[in-house]
């Protein structure tokens, strides 16, 4: 038996996690990768398939992706698991644990258009009416709503936003993991040179400026 065949995937995942950490991957990215590896190992074990890295084949990975779909997981989740495992097997190949990744010629699961429910104009008017007052909290919440609606930024990203992250003259805002400007949010890849600025909407910069004008009175520091 080839020496590599006996190396179990489970025993190598901790080393992969340390490698990801050393590369400066975010904790959330590492968690996502780790979850994909754990789910894949659990599938292999439950299906009676080999977990030795050199014995894992393309058909095993394809069976895993089919299993995700049959269990009702979304196409985007399956695509995420695919990308995570692709990184894992690429690392295994670089480390010499396998001669060639079984995913070398695989294609990611197709992710079609996934329409989401959007608020009607009447619903938006009623939403803003809730915070129509002139207190700091009213102005702050109005500014947050306008940023969310205008840019598509995630709630988790906006929760970490600080006053120092706003450039109202340029009408831009910076959040962890993304930079958004105009009417869309552009993800910044690790090797990207930065997104192309888009024409900014008129709504959120003035709303932020009004909230910031009252921040001092409300005892909010400009952090």
Q: Does the pTM of the predicted model rise above 0.85?
A: no
Query: In which order are the strands placed within the sheet that holds 184-187?
Result: 166-167, 172-175, 178-181, 184-187
Instruction: Return residue ranges of the chain for CATH 1.10.150.130.
Output: 3-94
CATH architecture of 3-94: Orthogonal Bundle (1.10)
Q: Is the pLDDT of residue 211 over 70?
A: no
Which tokens go with 93?
């190949």
Instruction: Kindly report, residue by residue over 152-208, the tens digit of the pLDDT.
Output: 777 777 777 776 776 667 667 676 654 444 433 333 333 333 333 333 444 555 666
Q: What is the pLDDT of residue 103?
A: 96
Helix (H) or strand (E) holding 174: strand 172-175
Residue, of 112 and 39, whose pLDDT is higher: 39
């Amino acid at each position: 038996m080839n020496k590599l065949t006996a190396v179990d995937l489970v025993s190598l995942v901790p080393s992969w996690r340390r490698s990801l950490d050393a590369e400066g991957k975010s904790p959330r990215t590492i968690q996502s990768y780790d979850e994909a590896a754990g789910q894949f190992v659990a599938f292999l074990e439950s299906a009676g398939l080999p977990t030795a890295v050199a014995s894992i084949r393309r058909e095993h990975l394809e069976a895993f992706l089919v299993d995700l779909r049959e269990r009702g997981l979304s196409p985007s989740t399956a695509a995420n698991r695919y990308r995570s495992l692709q990184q894992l097997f690429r690392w295994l190949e670089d480390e010499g644990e396998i001669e060639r990744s079984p995913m070398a010629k695989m294609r990611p699961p197709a992710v079609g258009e996934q329409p989401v429910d959007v608020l009607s104009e009447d619903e938006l008017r009623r939403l803003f009416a809730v915070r129509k007052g002139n207190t700091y909290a009213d102005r702050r919440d109005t500014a947050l709503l306008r940023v969310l609606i205008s840019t598509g930024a995630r709630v988790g990203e906006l929760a970490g936003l600080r006053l120092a992250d706003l450039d109202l003259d340029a009408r831009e805002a910076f959040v962890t993991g993304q930079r958004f400007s105009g009417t869309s949010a552009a993800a910044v890849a690790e090797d990207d040179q930065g997104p192309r600025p888009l024409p900014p909407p008129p709504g959120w910069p003035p709303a932020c400026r009004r909230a910031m004008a009252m921040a001092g009175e409300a005892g909010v520091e400009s952090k």
